[in-house]
Structure 1
Amino acid sequence: DSINPEYVLVLSGDHIYKMDYSEMLENHKANNATLTVGVIPVPIKEASRFGIMNTDHANRIIEFEEKPKEPKSNLASMGIYIFNWKTLRRYLVEDQAKAREMEDFGKNVIPAYLDNGENCFAYPFEGYWKDVGTIESLWEANMETLSPDHPLNLSKDDWRIYTNNPVTPPQFITADAKLSDSLVVDGCYVAGDIEHSILSLNVKVGKGSKVSDSLVMSGVTIGENCTIEYAIIGENAVIADGASVVGTKDKIAVVGYEEVIGGPKNDGEE
């Protein structure tokens, strides 16, 4: 209320894509919409994971189903919404006065708009979009960035992706280490073999260890003679000498934040 904007852009935090929101806003204005939802086609077998839109020839939303068991369409909500603020505020205030809780855009807000005949439109998106709300999809999204043909080129000069990494020394790769098809961030020390993997900031990999098809997050220490396959290793975790963390493509192994695997008090494989 203190800002009192004309429009409100609402985004989800577990999706990966690149979009110019100003183009979606112009579409919203041109349609004289009160709500515009970014949408993308998904495989019909996966449609039950998403909010699904049914639209007419003008992309006006005529029906919305939140994670339907038997979807009528494969047009999924991207979790990107543009609202006219005055209209949205009115709905939220009225809902609060009636002691209901309009907490979810898919379950509560969009159905309320449609029930009251609001001008709701879909904004089709044709670029790369990934929902990383599951372990498998998070792993898959990271592995996809290793492809030189990936639509989101992390090295592209005209639209760089920045992180808040601190200033650290360059990575150090020993003479015996082997790296292929991998992304290694600053501050890493690598004495083992890295294949088709991502090593985040300040990761250490000991001699004789092999890391393949894995995402290793910041501050992880991997000892000597370890095996890491099809895994996500959480920040500041420690994999002791000789330990193994082995998953499969269909069941990714996960080591949590600051977790310790192996060593005198925690022997064995994950």
Structure 2
Amino acid sequence: MSAPVTLSALAREGAVLAGAGAAILLQVAHRPVAAGVDRHSDFTRDPMARLVHTLQYVYAVSLPEAESVRERVAGWVERAHAPVRGVDAGGARYSAADPEAQLWVAATLYWAAERVRGRMWGVLDPGAAEEMYQDSAVLGTALGMPRELWPVDRAAFERWWQQRLGELEVTDAARAIARELFAAEHAPVWMRTLMPLARMLTAGMLPTGVRSELGLELDVAGSVWDERLWSVLRAVYPRLPHVMRQAPSRWILRSLGVRGRSTCR
């Protein structure tokens, strides 16, 4: 029932998957990332594959038992990103190797996980929160992002985050990606069934401006249901056995050939 207080502990929690949609849509709200996804990815046709690949990377760089596969997984991502470069419809250049783009993607992963942690377990001790934040820089540095790009502390991150939110250019490509993601036309039936719930969780988590730009507004009834859902999750999830809470991370680690047992730390 204890709350996760380290990056590795939080990464193991299946609950963080509730922030996956928000992280993805925040990423594509960044114009260069949206161009790369729109022109070089078909993840809306196979969202599960995109989620699995993202989780493989996150677990490989954040979990100590995955150290043996860390470089291999980072290499996969780098090779996949290598051809993702070009000029978007508005004439702006984009590249997956751009450190600023890497910073934004890493920041969305940290922000979404921290948002879920806060809604599930409440306020974390400032010292532990700062340590988790500092450790989260690896989400970008593992791909070559210079460590100095990561804001120096949580307060600096919050200032930087709010500034970047105000600078985002939500393009038609980003809006199309959002529509296709939740339509899930090519996804398995079970995933399409869950998409209305995923849409509500995602909309409730997104910053207001981005949510509006992507056409994911929540009406009053939707906001009420979103809060009720989180109330249920807060009451039930922390009481589940760790083996259930950590099932997604265990499954992904097995897919990477990592057989060591994960811990609760």
If asked which structure has higher relative contact order (CA below 8 Å, sep 6+), I would say: 2
Higher relative helix content: 2
Counting strand residues as a fraction of each chain, which structure ranks higher? 1
| TM-score over 0.5 (shorter chain) | no
Tell me the TM-score normalized by structure 1: 0.27
TM-score, normalising length: structure 2: 0.27
Whichever of the two has the greater Rg, that structure is 1
